[in-house]
Amino acid sequence: MPEDRLERFLAAGEYRAALDLLDHLEPDRLEPLLDRKPEIAAAANRAGQNVLKQAERLAADGELARALVTLRQAQDRLPDDPRLDRQIELLTAARSARMDALGSDYLMLEATSLLERQRLIDSMNRLATGPAELPTRPEDLQREARELARALDARAATRKAPDERQPLLQLAQALDPSEQRAQTLAELGPSARPPRRDTPARSAPDRPTIADLQQTLASDDLEAAGRICADAARARIDPAFAALCQDFERRLAVQLDAWLEEGRRLYATGELDAAIDRWRRGHELAPEHAELQAALERAERVQERLESLRDRNAAANAQ
């Protein structure tokens, strides 16, 4: 019976199928159900609005793939809706752009990691008595570098903006130098000159080198490492800095958490000055760290009140 089929479709939220059923009924069988059409269309519209809201929430959380699946499933169940079509078009474009950007980031991260591995193997090779002492062969890394450079070149070819092409080509040139790529980089502008493999690029005699950064990290001098990474980020002097600076950022995050927790423990046991010392050290390295800043400001206010009380007590005792 059409009535039974219609109810099953509606119960399952299959509004497109329900309306198609009504559209294909014989006139004599349609007439008793004709007044259901506005009701079904209104229910389909509400369902579409709910789906759009759900997709919007998913997209806001970065779940673009799930948002698209939700919308496309709704397309199959609901009558044609320009709102769904438009949202699918927008999210598809946003997802593609985000995937493309992340793909570039991943390639660049691979490249900086490979440059650092090559540097380490070069250093180990000078110390090793034979290939067996090395974790990998230099020629294997060279082959990997050539393949990765080709991937970076291909990615750069899809970019029109010079500031998007430059870092990709810089890393490719650092991995596998070529005259053609060097010419392309020269045409893009002076800021795109590729880093040399043998010596770190410098624009001033006192600019820190990778060796300087390694030394500061080895000695756990996070303050000096932070200054070097900030200088490297401003000057964009060598992609190989990126891997070491990422290591610095990881170490810094761990150290900041440690100082935050140690300060809390000291504060709880009444060791106010020691707690302030830990939080101040962290705040100086990371002024943007909200928890450290809040803890330090609170402790300094307590310290000021205590000093004020001591001064008043001393004045009272002196009378």
Cβ neighbours around 253 below 10 Å, total: 12
Q: What's the confidence (pLDDT) of residue 255?
A: 86
Q: pLDDT tens digits, residue range 113-146? A: 888 888 888 888 888 888 899 999 999 999 999 9
Fold of the domain built from segment(s) 205-319 = 1.25.40
Q: What is the pTM of this model?
A: 0.51
Domain boundaries, the chain: 2-80, 99-190, 205-319
Residue 268 or 88, more confident: 88
Q: pLDDT tens digits, residue range 242-291? A: 767 777 888 888 888 888 888 888 877 778 888 899 899 889 888 888 88
Q: pLDDT at residue 165 above 70? A: yes
Fill in the DSSP letter of residue 203: S
What DSSP line would sit under 93-155, residue for residue?
Answer: HHHHHHHHHHHHHHHHHHHHHHHHHHHHHHHHHHH-SSGGGSSS-HHHHHHHHHHHHHHHHHH
Q: What's the confidence (pLDDT) of residue 245?
A: 79
Q: Is 280 exposed, middle or buried (0-12, 13-18, 19+ CB in 10 A)?
A: middle
The CA-to-CA distance between both ends of the chain, in Å, stands at 104
Q: 215-224, long-range: CB within 8 Å, 24+ apart, which pairs?
A: 217/244, 217/247, 217/248, 217/251, 220/251, 222/248, 222/251, 222/252, 222/255, 222/285, 223/284, 223/285
